[in-house]
Chains A and B, each alone.
Chain A
Amino acid sequence: PPGTQESPAETNQSPGETNHSPPEPHESLAETHESEPKLCGFLLKQGGPLKAWKLRWFTYEDKKNQLFYYRTPQDVMPLGRIELCSATFTYPLKAEKGTFHIKTPERTFVLKAVTQELMLYWLQQLQVKRWQHRQMTTCPDSPSNNNSSSTAGENTTAESHHFLPLLKSPLGLVERKTQAEGIMVTLCRVQELVWILHKALEASQLEKRTCAEFLAETGEQERLELLRHRERQAADLRGQLEEVKAEAEVLRKGLAQREAQLSELQDDIRMLTEKNKAKQEVRTAGGQVASRILWFLTASHPQDDIEAYKTQNKFLNSEIYQLTGLWRTSSEQEKSLMMKCAFLEASNCQVESQYLSVLRQLQETKSLDPDQREAVQKMVEDALKRELKSVVKLRMARDHDEYGFKIIPDYEVEDMKLLAKIQALEIRSHNLLHQESIECPLLDRWAQYLAGRSDDDLCASPELKGLLRVGVPQEYRQRVWSWMVRARTRTIREHHPQCYQQLCEKSRTSAHPASRQIELDLHRTLTTNQHFCSPSSPALQQLRRILLAFSWRNPAIGYCQGLNRLAAIALLILQSEEDAFWCLVAVVEAIMPQDYYTKSLVASQADQRVLKDFLAEKLPRLAAHFDSHSIDVSLVTFNWFLVVFVESLPSDILLPLWDAFLYEGTKVIFRYALALFKYKEDDILKIHDSVEIYQYLRFFTKTISDGRRLIAIAFGDMNPFPRRLLRNRRALHLDRLQGELRELEEQQKEFVTERAERKDKELDTVASEDDEEL
């Protein structure tokens, strides 16, 4: 542990001594590893309720990427530690010099180094350490240690430009400088000493020389002469001194005069400045502020501040670079983990669904012992208890798609829970495995097609038809739909550009008889969709206006249950109330045959018979199977047609169906209906009980997992599908149906008259004529 690290000898200054004077922490670069010096040293740490500065010994620990701190370098037990892997570093400008912060998710450490330089050194070192540690941990499973360390090294060098140019152990610099200064001082002192000594030496030498001269004169006369000479010299000097004194006196007087003048001048200046001040005071507030700013700027050494900001800015930039780098690696890692997870989950789903299928087959095996049967039953129950939700949560996957539909539909089927769960697992595993691989090329194809085309440029073409059959990517769906709707309603809209607004106005002022039914259904529309599930949702208000407007526009239909779903889908995709209204008009008036939604839904009923014809033709085995079990598919398929599969199919299949439907029309509904039966033909053929078949048919549409396969069946296997054949069959069945209806009416009349004649007492005629509504 780092605590046992011997502190170097030069840190012998104990913290106790530094209590009074500002402490002088020592940065010591002890050579524990040959290559890298260990990062350790004294720093001040702010702590406690009083936020007092305390001196602490900090050491960095490589393995765990932690910074430990101790009371003294000799301590074994650290007082605490700072996790660096998720820490960010910063330093405030306004605080005392050398203060910096280490922010971890848990808390912020406020530390202080002696100098700004030292602080920057620490920060950079910590950044480097954090980066290196990250590199080590993100590629720990490289084949060999050598390799990983070298790649880590490369990475660090590669990324090194993100760091500030590293300060090379600033403390060394700082120390050498102070040493140099000391040396300089002593040098100066020595030089001074030398100089003094020189002077002394010179003086003594002069004295010695005069003494020698004096001693050198041999005679008394010469000595006297010499003395006199010296005397004269002295007198001369005295005279010179006198002169100099006088001169000095003159100069002093001059100086005094000058001083007087100066003081006068200063008085003048003072007066002037006072005047000036007065003037300044008179100036506007703006001027004052300006002068204050000027004063502030001059007083606060702008150059220093700018420098400080620059350094801080540089540092923070490097911090941002680093954090971005860390974030990027994290997100890449996350992505790869997500992919792995998706794959694992998909295979898990597959295994589970296979397991359930096996259980299901076992359940149906007749030759099991009662014990075995019981065991199987128990396993089934356990399997069903396991919530599918828990699997879903594993990948933090969305529960709803872009349009607010649940991705895994709810199955309300009581008796077929096992089957339903198998299907749900299959959908899930399919979604997990295939989503991205298919969507991307499709998106590219659409992007290519739509690039450079304005919405008016879109025109019917085999290419567009092909694209629509595969489905429009969510990004383009709104645009493509609104184009198709506009193409189908162009003439009406050109005639009455304000049509929708007028209809809305009309429904505001007068109540349509259909409004009761509309109100009743409004809150029961797409209740599993996020945008419709709340009673206060604005989508419901829009839906109400659309349906009311439509009931005024088309009095033959008014409102038919199911139109709410059509309008809701339109609203979800087109995101515009008026466009959604026109979409409803396009579907009901332009695409669907006449009388599809009118009083007795004759055209709808006719289509069911057409479907049965096609079923017998395209899927004869299945049609025979249905016949032999007296299954009337129209009991199930009727609403597929009436609401174009809304709420029968999961949204990822429903919307591509609508893409093609809005372009090609009702043929698409037939193609899909047949394709759905074809897709599950084998499963249906296995069921030999009519009740079970009905049950299966009721929910199987929600269990389709492979939308691409369904599309391939609908537009491939179901070919040829000539438009004329459909039209002829429709006409035929509609004719027959109307004939039957007439017959029925006649029968009814007959019945009534017959009963009237018999005067049967059993039935009263409570349902009087005034009950007839609409």
Chain B
Amino acid sequence: KMAIRELKVCLLGDTGVGKSSIVCRFVQDHFDHNISPTIGASFLTKTMPCGNELHKFLIWDTAGQERFHSLAPMYYRGSAAAVIVYDITKLDSFHTLKKWVKELKEHGPEDIVVAIAGNKNDLGDIREVPMKEAKEFAESIAAIFIETSARNAVNVEELFQKISKQIPPLENPEGDSNESFKLTRQPAPSTRRCC
């Protein structure tokens, strides 16, 4: 029996870039054009095999509008990975992404895995963010980079697979296999704002 590891992942990014759609595609393999905007956050899980382990993603999907950013620490606190999503057809959303990267570096968990997802890959003809630029940026911060299309189910699985691979394997995989090992970090006892 394979060990189950729980990985807390949060999705960040500008409003309307398709964070919820990516999660919806990944978890339910379903796409809805008019998925309700996330208020606060929503929580979903999905288990995926990785090597000889099972990774259970605990996905916190957050609200995109700027004024909800103040809530984000609640969600990225203790996360093993953060997926920052931008919309390849909206340059603004790429700028917002950079702000998120900055915030994560300043306030996020130290060894958080950052993945950058350029969503709406199916709308290539109205692209505003060149793939090269985004890729170079990702490399500059040592982040995973992938362009996705939640609508056409392109690279969504791959995104999470890449994250899985970046998570360091358990040091002792021979440990008690019945117990699921939690990789979620306990919140640091700091004076950081929390709710």
Contact = CB atoms under 8 A, between A and B. Distances in A.
B71 A599 contact: no
| The 8 nearest A-B residue pairs measured at CB | A638-B40, A639-B40, A639-B39, A600-B70, A767-B98, A771-B95, A520-B16, A561-B65
Given A415-B45, A599-B67, A763 B105 contact: yes
Given A520-B15, A605-B70, A642 B35 contact: no
A525 B39 CA distance: 12
Contacts of A524: 34-37
Nearest to B73: A744
A589 B160 CA distance: 43
Interface stretch (B56-64, B119-127, B149-157, B164-172): B56-64
A329 B54 CA distance: 64
A634 B73 CA distance: 13
Contacts of A560: 65, 67
A734 B132 CA distance: 45
Interface string B1-24: 000001000000001100000000
A601 interface: yes
B181 interface: no
A774 interface: yes
Contacts of B44: 414, 698
A695 B60 contact: no
B66 interface: yes
Given A520-B16, A635-B43, A763-B102, 19 more contacts: A523-B34, A524-B36, A527-B32, A561-B64, A562-B39, A565-B39, A601-B68, A601-B71, A608-B195, A609-B195, A635-B75, A638-B39, A638-B40, A638-B41, A691-B58, A695-B43, A698-B42, A747-B192, A773-B92
A743 B95 contact: no
A767 B99 contact: yes
Contacts of B137: 766
Given A415-B45, A527-B36, A691-B56, A766 B68 contact: no
Contacts of A533: 34
B134 to A, nearest CB: 12
Contact of B67 (A412, A600, A741): A600
Given A414-B45, A635-B40, A691-B58, A561 B68 contact: yes
A639 B34 CA distance: 19
A751 interface: yes
A694 interface: yes
Interface of B: 6, 15-16, 27-28, 32-37, 39-46, 56, 58, 60, 63-68, 70-71, 74-75, 92, 95-96, 98-99, 101-102, 105-106, 137, 140-141, 186, 191-193, 195
B28 A412 contact: yes
A414 B36 contact: no
A533 B63 CA distance: 22
A748 interface: yes
A652 interface: no
Given A414-B27, A520-B16, A695 B45 contact: yes
20 contacts: A414-B46, A523-B33, A523-B34, A524-B35, A524-B37, A527-B34, A560-B67, A561-B64, A564-B37, A609-B195, A632-B195, A635-B40, A635-B43, A636-B43, A638-B39, A638-B41, A748-B106, A763-B102, A767-B98, A771-B99
B74 A634 contact: yes
Nearest to B102: A767
Contacts of B43: 635-636, 694-695, 698
A274 interface: no
A561 B64 CA distance: 9
A553 B63 CA distance: 24
A517 B96 CA distance: 14
B156 to A, nearest CB: 15
B175 to A, nearest CB: 19
A632 B95 contact: no
A286 B71 CA distance: 87
A409 B189 CA distance: 40
A643 interface: yes
A601 B67 contact: yes
B81 to A, nearest CB: 16
Contacts of A691: 6, 45, 56, 58
A634 B195 contact: yes
Contacts, number: 119
A755 to B, nearest CB: 9
A132 interface: no
A602 B191 CA distance: 18
Contact of B140 (A647, A748, A764): A764
Nearest to A641: B40
A740 interface: yes
Contact of B39 (A643, A743, A748, A766): A643
A24 interface: no
Nearest to A561: B65
A521 interface: yes
Interface string A601-615: 110010011000000
Contacts of B98: 766-767, 771
A431 interface: no
B36 A647 contact: yes
Contacts of B27: 414
Contacts of A747: 191-192
A692 to B, nearest CB: 9
A365 B7 CA distance: 27
B14 to A, nearest CB: 10
Contacts of B105: 763
A774 B15 CA distance: 14
A747 B95 CA distance: 23
A276 to B, nearest CB: 83
Give the residue among A524, A525, A565, A698 with the most B Cβ atoms within 10 A: A524
Given A414-B44, A520-B15, A635 B35 contact: no
A605 B195 contact: yes
Interface in A722-751: 740-741, 743-744, 747-748, 751
A599 B75 CA distance: 19
A744 B107 CA distance: 10
A357 interface: no
A137 B76 CA distance: 71
Contact of A740 (B28, B39, B64, B193): B193
Contact of B106 (A525, A561, A599, A751): A751
Interface string A569-585: 00000000000000000
Nearest to B16: A520
B67 A763 contact: no
A598 interface: yes
Nearest to B191: A743
